[in-house]
Amino acid sequence: MSTHRTANRQRNLFPKRTKELKSVVHSAPGWKLFGKVPPRENLQKTSRIIQQEYEARTGRTCKPPPQSSRRKNFEFEPLSTTALILEDRPSNLPAKSVEEALRHRQEYDEMVAEAKKREIKEAHKRKKIMKERFKQEENIASAMVIWINEILPNWEVMRSTRRVRELWWQGLPPSVRGKVWSLAVGNELNITPELYEIFLSRAKERWKSFSETNSENDVEGVSVADREASLELIKLDISRTFPSLYIFQKGGPYHDVLHSILGAYTCYRPDVGYVQGMSFIAAVLILNLEEADAFIAFANLLNKPCQLAFFRVDHSMMLRYFATFEVFFEENLSKLFLHFKSYSLTPDIYLIDWIFTLYSKSLPLDLACRVWDVFCRDGEEFLFRTGLGILRLYEDILLQMDFIHIAQFLTKLPEDITSEKLFTCIAAIQMQNSTKKWTQVFASVMKDIKEGDKNNSPALKS
């Protein structure tokens, strides 16, 4: 019987409630399951609706909390959970004492003040970042005018002047970066766009022939098997080149261009072939130059003594570079140098990856481009100076680490490394040992290498 009365009461209530809330429900978005179920009427209700329904059923009017009017006057509105400390307890619990209410008020005011302080600090930080960004954009714009109107038209005369070198150190404007790199790297190999097309056509023919036959004949002294392995490595490396940009992977706008340049180079320099890491260098050039110009700069860049030594894996030359690096390492960062020595941590463990990719894999791309800027100005010496700058930047951290953690840290540098901090550390590195500069020290280390007195690098022993 009671069940029957309940059912009747529900039948009487629902139509009435539906009418009362029709305007509210009508405006609220419903949901459908596969388009067959009408919008739900039991949507989550706001506190206002719940209060109205309660007042309608009980005939009571809910008084607003006494603190609500005061809270509206605050300039800073904290999270609701923060303000709960000011609320009175429910009527079925003992009321707050005057002392407790005052203490809660004080705690609340402290929380609000702390929150306001954090907000002001964040606002100042954002303002500072924006101000620095605007200043940087203005500097780039003014520098671009100088490079285009004054320096580039008079390149040979002005490139070595103090003014240009100082402007160069600050980083090249993106609009002239490719042009300056091309001029600085030069074209000693006398490669023309037409020559690039010839080697590209040759590469495409070989890609086609490799897919059609498995001939093991030697071509120009290099076995087909080696060439196939090189082509497979190119495909694999391209997929791992700046993956976060999604522009060099298959289907990306620069995938074919990168593949063409690397393939053409393996035909142009079969004695070198493709070596892991080349894809990053070619990719950076593609981002700043047209295809043929990128190939010309790429081939000439890899023909420099340091790059050629590394990409041809010339052990004796690589050891000379490592030994020279250690001379300046000890000169500039003696404490860290001894720490590395105590763990027998040799430069090849971290320098090889840095040099192979010219820091384009290890540093954020914009920072790597600025390293390239000065590398084009100063040559190979700056690559090793940059390495010392990185070690100086993280010296305090590295001194607390053991062999494994140092190797891991230097293999994957922090992503928040900034241009200002790194170049400040690079500027503090003195590339002079006693009275000898980099080139003089490099020339004098061969005798030490021959005597076996320096740099017994386990990674380079064969």
What residue type is 8 in one-letter code?
A: N
Q: What's the mean pLDDT in 221-248?
A: 76
Q: Is the pLDDT of residue 126 over 90?
A: no
Query: Facing residues of 433 across strands?
Result: 436
Helix (H, G, I), strand (E, B) or coil at 352: helix
Residue 379, classified by CB atoms within 10 Å of its CB into exposed (0-12), middle (13-18) or buried (19+), is: middle
Confidence of residue 229 (pLDDT cuts 50, 70, 90): low
Helix spans in 221-303 (H):
224-239, 255-268, 278-286, 291-301
Asked if 312 contacts 277 with a C-beta cutoff of 8 angstroms, the reply is no
| Tokens of residue 462, six digits | 């064969």
Confidence of residue 26 (pLDDT cuts 50, 70, 90): very low
Q: Which residue has the higher pLDDT, 169 or 89?
A: 169
Residue of 396, 406, 413 lying closest to 343 (CA atoms)? 406
- H/E segment holding residue 54: helix 47-58
pLDDT at 138: 83
* Rounded (5°) CA angle 25-31-32: 130
Buried/exposed code over 295-324 (b: 16+ C-beta within 10 A; e: otherwise) = bbbbbbbbbeebbebbbbeeeebbbbbbbb
Query: Facing residues of 193 across strands?
Result: none
Q: What's the mean pLDDT in 254-283?
A: 94
CA distance 135 to 139: 6
Q: Is the pLDDT of residue 252 over 50?
A: yes
Asked if 406 contacts 340 with a C-beta cutoff of 8 angstroms, the reply is yes
Q: Is the pLDDT of residue 157 over 70?
A: yes
| Tokens of residue 202, six digits | 């040759």
Q: What's the mean pLDDT in 394-418?
A: 95
pLDDT at 334: 96
Confidence of residue 52 (pLDDT cuts 50, 70, 90): low
DSSP 87-135: SPPPTTSPPPPHHHHHHHHHHHHHHHHHHHHHHHHHHHHHHHHHHHHHH
Which of 26-30, 268-272, 372-376, 388-392 shows the lowest mean pLDDT across its residues?
26-30
Q: What's the mean pLDDT in 64-82?
A: 48
Which of 7-16, 295-304, 394-403, 418-427 shows the lowest mean pLDDT across its residues?
7-16
